[in-house]
Structure 1
């Protein structure tokens, strides 16, 4: 085995992680317990048997969040305690004491259905009973995103996602969840990278608890590849991540750390306040600028690869076959779905090694060490950016001449123009058009081909223009055609192609538009105007009269990701160094740094570190990363 331990730190990371694990669970369930997509499930999961002898898979994960962040779900083996007793309360004044306890938070209807059905032996159920159980589960799943998609009745209660545990399908091991003591769900006080220093019990107990849990998982591994980290590092979980990574580097010296820095969409994702003309001296602006600079500088040097991810505010225009509702930018549930899908596909090569289907096996399997080494170079800089196409356009290998002209135009266009859908007769596989770069700004990373230093491109479940699935050979030929159509550049490239599409889990937001078919295929000659007209003409989601579809009708979907080391990180890092310099020159910025344990000289050193990192991406660097 080549195990990977997953570490999740913070709310957005856990919303993203819940989608990520649901995608793994759905793929396993769709195969009836025997995966034929080439994925070895024991890379991410440990397994045991239940009393009936059936396998039970649990994520090899450590999940960290605030107290109360799991809502009505408890991941502990301990039985619920008795009601609080007033006699147990302590008081300095010696008078009567009264303990007031709030009621238990109810579990989501979806979680309740999962628990109810976990005790059913479906081998003994009739077809009609199984259909009723499935209908009940689907109805509960629809309630989860009713509010997020704007389809819930006004004033509806008990509808919509309140906690990431509301839609998590997999069973976490009791050792997996770690509550951040002294920090409560929904309470203020965790804003900013260094805010963990003000926790009631300090940061050390949390670091030791997380390190112990990772150590426990590692002891059960035969051949540990490394650790993949999802972290909200613009918050207190960033400072916590720094301390945890220091522990892990000592505990697991041979393990590589792949770090995904997850940024919220409803902010710029890093230092945008001052860069966009806002005041870096304001408390919020300075906090975001300093947090971004510290996270990038300190956490990238503790990781083998550092990948900042953020769904941009114009994602709806860049992914024109999706239907993102108003207000999606502030929803961890919706943003986490896109981030989870991107991470799931981008890291697919690290999980390959299992049995395959009749559509031929996947190509491009690799390990974590080789993958992060590919993305490192240029003086040791290890930043990478990711792009996503969802769903993937039609894969026609013989069409690469026309594709070259189309993608060349996309390469010359502005980011907004490049993201708009094709006005022509079809929606084609492309690594440039109809893709969204999931990176914080400013400046915006475009992942232009001529700026790439190294890339890993993954294509899953490609379909032909006819709607039929493409074989692995045809999909690889179509991907090669698309890559050849891009402007030439000197770039190391890793390519992974799997004929198996991504199985869309039941509790997934209904974000697919009316031009997407049940298997993720484009159902008609597509154009942005036609897709919008089909939706506008319908009486609502699922309207048969206009051909509009319910966004939850898609069972599987082709996905493409690019993860690239790019010279565009040079200006990106320079901007963060300049923003930090401006913030640290203000009284508010200096006070903030000192409160987090960074004196003025420390912030200057961080800025200098960012400038050195930026310089490693400059043209003419002695180390271009191509000699290994």
Structure 2
């Protein structure tokens, strides 16, 4: 069976925080001994190559965009020797002029020196991480990193804050180089299944990403799965003076308009898109942090909140990367986007709070609240009349139910007839979701949360992420997780909130958009099309 390759894109600083965790999860799950059974076909997201010296490389099939000054310790070449692209050109013959790189933190230094095992060592990454490259484990292909040189990271005078700045940039040399890199990756693929695009939808990177989505839709007849991402926190979220409040309100308005325009344009060009954020509102401020049982994360640390979104993405992608599954990205898009409903919501339950001495049948029978938390902003996932794709990982079959001799009260529960984890979860969702359809994927392996994954787990968890650890707290190495895509009428409420909020903004006050050539009439048209898209979710339908 041929590998169904996917090309991944990351546009923006926070999207790269999410991406760094995502690729760490992949890389740290590799088995180099050949003794561990792997469930995932890594060739879907990775490519094999060769350096000019003939050394074999295995790197993410990935294109990244970020601003000048954001890479810190990561060289623009991705950290690997240059690969041969077949021109017979020797980079050793070229004099390379590079700025001195900042000193590496202890974790990165240990990776480079292959010193003491970094899995057994304690690091203070909460303090050490200043950017996403400070905890990035894998090395990248030389064409992966594409720096925007016209703007500087953290520059407050000339900000890359308007969607249309990204669109302008795409029409220049940057877009030409970027599309050339896309073409090179696509030409290497035998049987490509599609593109995954993760991007910050609150700033100029939205314009870059949307231009890329439109280009992909025009050039390639492949599925486009997009994640518009809203960061968990903005530095201007806690103003202390009236002047700061006014500035923060203006920035909130700009971010809100960028988000609304992103969703409207994705509804035209993406195959499926899923907005995600660990804040419950997303706009105007990210809002209160979503709560997860047995997790103590700090939403002001991108290093923390991005790990949650990466865990959800990794779990959701199991469906089209699983070796035993014939599902593809286009199947997922087709299943979820009937009636023109291209936008879906996402959820995450991490860890799945099962007691180490508890059977799954008792956990599901006794739980009184949803086993997942919505991670789509301003959205409450309905329980009725929905279509959902759920992935559960890391629940062992021996946790299913008690043997018949010890079953006692379990025998009275209808779920006792279930013979495996998949059947039991199917029955659970069938009982809890009226007039709904659930497609379930079960993965045997849990989510491995090895260093440099944040240590934000509650002390009650044992080594395997189950509840009930006694004595001294232990380092959690893996945990059971559930994640889902959900679609239904409930999405219209989120779109209604977004449309209502963005309609209150007086466009005449947003001078920066006008400076980029975006007219008031275009703005009104975009809002009208957003309202039309919302209508796709209004009509009753039958599954």
Deviation at 1:198, TM superposition (A): 7.1
Pairing of 1:532-551 with structure 2 (within 5 A): 547-549=471-473
Q: Which residue of 1 aligns with 2:420?
A: 474
Question: Distance between the aligned counterparts of 2:45 and 2:57, measured in 1?
Answer: 13
- Say if 2:382 is the partner of 1:448: yes
Deviation at 1:287, TM superposition (A): 0.9
Assess, with a 3 A threshold, how the Cα gap between structure 1 residues 243 and 514 changes in structure 2: closer, same or farther. Answer: same
Q: 2:385·2:434 contact (CA, 8 Å) conserved in 1?
A: no
Deviation at 1:351, TM superposition (A): 0.5
Q: Which residue of 1 aligns with 2:306?
A: 336
Counterpart among 1, 8, 12 of residue 10 in structure 2: 8
Q: Which residue of 2 aligns with 1:23?
A: 25
Deviation at 1:376, TM superposition (A): 0.1
Q: 1:280·1:286 contact (CA, 8 Å) conserved in 2?
A: no
Deviation at 1:75, TM superposition (A): 3.8
Assess, with a 3 A threshold, how the Cα gap between structure 1 residues 488 and 588 changes in structure 2: closer, same or farther. Answer: same
Which is worse superposed, 330-339 or 480-489?
480-489
- Say if 2:322 is the partner of 1:352: yes
Q: 1:225·1:255 contact (CA, 8 Å) conserved in 2?
A: yes
Q: 1:19·1:508 contact (CA, 8 Å) conserved in 2?
A: yes
Assess, with a 3 A threshold, how the Cα gap between structure 1 residues 554 and 398 changes in structure 2: closer, same or farther. Answer: closer
Q: Which residue of 2 aligns with 1:323?
A: 296
Question: Distance between the aligned counterparts of 1:194 and 1:22, measured in 2?
Answer: 32
Q: Which residue of 2 aligns with 1:106?
A: 103
Assess, with a 3 A threshold, how the Cα gap between structure 1 residues 166 and 81 changes in structure 2: closer, same or farther. Answer: farther
Q: Which residue of 1 aligns with 2:240?
A: none
Deviation at 1:365, TM superposition (A): 4.5
Question: Distance between the aligned counterparts of 1:52 and 1:194, measured in 2?
Answer: 43
Mark the runs of 5 or more structure 1 residues left unpaired by the alignment. Answer: 85-101, 118-131, 148-159, 269-277, 354-361, 411-431, 525-545
Deviation at 1:332, TM superposition (A): 1.5
Q: Which residue of 2 aligns with 1:618?
A: 538
Question: Distance between the aligned counterparts of 2:35 and 2:174, measured in 1?
Answer: 38
- Say if 2:191 is the partner of 1:191: no
Pairing of 1:576-591 with structure 2 (within 5 A): 576-583=498-505, 585-589=506-510, 591=511
Counterpart among 261, 272, 276 of residue 294 in structure 1: 261
Q: Which residue of 2 aligns with 1:520?
A: 465
Q: 2:278·2:289 contact (CA, 8 Å) conserved in 1?
A: no
Q: 1:75·1:172 contact (CA, 8 Å) conserved in 2?
A: no
Pairing of 1:75-90 with structure 2 (within 5 A): 75-76=76-77, 77=82
Q: 1:574·1:610 contact (CA, 8 Å) conserved in 2?
A: no
- Say if 2:124 is the partner of 1:143: yes
Q: Which residue of 1 aligns with 2:408?
A: none
Question: Distance between the aligned counterparts of 1:52 and 1:579, measured in 2?
Answer: 57
Q: Which residue of 2 aligns with 1:44?
A: 45
Task: Give the RMSD, CA atoms, in angstroms.
Answer: 3.3
- Say if 2:482 is the partner of 1:560: yes
Question: Distance between the aligned counterparts of 1:586 and 1:597, measured in 2?
Answer: 13
- Say if 2:518 is the partner of 1:598: yes
Q: 1:75·1:173 contact (CA, 8 Å) conserved in 2?
A: no
Q: Which residue of 2 aligns with 1:359?
A: none
Q: 1:567·1:617 contact (CA, 8 Å) conserved in 2?
A: yes
Assess, with a 3 A threshold, how the Cα gap between structure 1 residues 186 and 567 changes in structure 2: closer, same or farther. Answer: same
Question: Distance between the aligned counterparts of 1:598 and 1:317, measured in 2?
Answer: 35
Question: Distance between the aligned counterparts of 1:439 and 1:503, measured in 2?
Answer: 24
Assess, with a 3 A threshold, how the Cα gap between structure 1 residues 306 and 487 changes in structure 2: closer, same or farther. Answer: closer
Q: Which residue of 2 aligns with 1:204?
A: 172
Aligned length: 496
Q: 2:267·2:533 contact (CA, 8 Å) conserved in 1?
A: no
Counterpart among 362, 365, 372 of residue 333 in structure 2: 372
Pairing of 1:134-533 with structure 2 (within 5 A): 134=117, 138-139=120-121, 142-145=123-126, 147=127, 160-188=128-156, 189-196=159-166, 203-252=171-220, 254-266=221-233, 282-312=249-279, 318-324=291-297, 328-353=298-323, 365-378=326-339, 380-394=340-354, 396=359, 398-399=361-362, 402-403=365-366, 406-407=367-368, 410=369, 432-433=370-371, 435-441=372-378, 445-452=379-386, 454-463=387-396, 474-489=420-435, 491-523=436-468
1:352-402 superposed Cα distances (whole Å, 9 cap, x missing partner): 12xxxxxxxx6x541011001111023x12001111111113384544883
Helix, strand or coil: the match of 2:258? helix
Deviation at 1:467, TM superposition (A): 11
1:239-293 superposed Cα distances (whole Å, 9 cap, x missing partner): 11121122222332x211100111111269xxxxxxxxx9999522321221121
Deviation at 1:113, TM superposition (A): 1.7
Assess, with a 3 A threshold, how the Cα gap between structure 1 residues 177 and 280 changes in structure 2: closer, same or farther. Answer: closer
Assess, with a 3 A threshold, how the Cα gap between structure 1 residues 586 and 59 changes in structure 2: closer, same or farther. Answer: closer
Q: Which residue of 2 aligns with 1:416?
A: none
Mark the runs of 5 or more structure 2 residues left unpaired by the alignment. Answer: 83-90, 236-244, 281-286, 404-417
Assess, with a 3 A threshold, how the Cα gap between structure 1 residues 398 and 288 changes in structure 2: closer, same or farther. Answer: closer
Deviation at 1:103, TM superposition (A): 5.0
Pairing of 1:58-77 with structure 2 (within 5 A): 58-76=59-77, 77=82
Assess, with a 3 A threshold, how the Cα gap between structure 1 residues 481 and 515 changes in structure 2: closer, same or farther. Answer: farther
Helix, strand or coil: the match of 1:450? coil
Assess, with a 3 A threshold, how the Cα gap between structure 1 residues 494 and 279 changes in structure 2: closer, same or farther. Answer: farther
Q: 1:459·1:496 contact (CA, 8 Å) conserved in 2?
A: yes
Deviation at 1:193, TM superposition (A): 2.2
Q: 1:266·1:329 contact (CA, 8 Å) conserved in 2?
A: yes
TM-score after normalising by structure 2: 0.83
TM-score after normalising by structure 1: 0.72
Question: Distance between the aligned counterparts of 2:38 and 2:306, measured in 1?
Answer: 24
Deviation at 1:212, TM superposition (A): 1.4
Deviation at 1:187, TM superposition (A): 1.6
